[in-house]
Amino acid sequence: MAVAYIFLAVLFIYTAVHSIRFLKTYYTLQKKGERAIGTITNNTLSGKFFIRNALVPTIIFYTGGNRKIVGRPRHSLQIELSFYRHGSEHLIYYKPDDPALFVVSNSGEVLATIAMLCVAIGYLGWFGITQLVPML
């Protein structure tokens, strides 16, 4: 039973770290980045371990300097909740000196990430109190 708790703790630590990194990137680009309108050209499988079967959009947009960028946005583990449709347009936030670093403006993905982060922190707190403190 303890092995299952430890496995879940590692899973939630990974989730928390990934969520914090995504939220930091998202809010930094939203506050300090440039804006553009991007078009979804297709959706491809993520290929990442935890979200291997999630569809991640490929987006095309033009920077303020009229530079064409085609790529996949930075995204959270909750990307599959976004349901990006081929041909749809979305607001993009990108880093001016590195436009390949961009996110799609998506309040649903952000809220789901914040919720997952709260669950992860709650579990880790519970795990620490109920499983680790008794060992001391």
pLDDT tens digits for range 66-82: 999 999 998 877 766 56
Q: How far apart are CA 45 and CA 31, in angstroms?
A: 29
CA angle 108/111/112 to nearest 5° reads 85
Lookup result for tokens 């064409």: 68
- What is the pTM for the complete model shown? 0.81
pLDDT in tens, 90-130: 999 999 999 999 999 988 888 888 998 998 888 888 877 77
What is the domain count for the chain? 1
Asked if residue 19 lies in contact with residue 113, where contact means CB atoms within 8 angstroms, the answer is: yes
3-class SS at 27?
Answer: helix
66: region left, alpha or beta (phi > 0 left; psi from -120 to 50 alpha): left
pLDDT in tens, 36-65: 999 999 887 766 655 556 778 899 999 999
* Domain that residue 56 falls in: 2-135
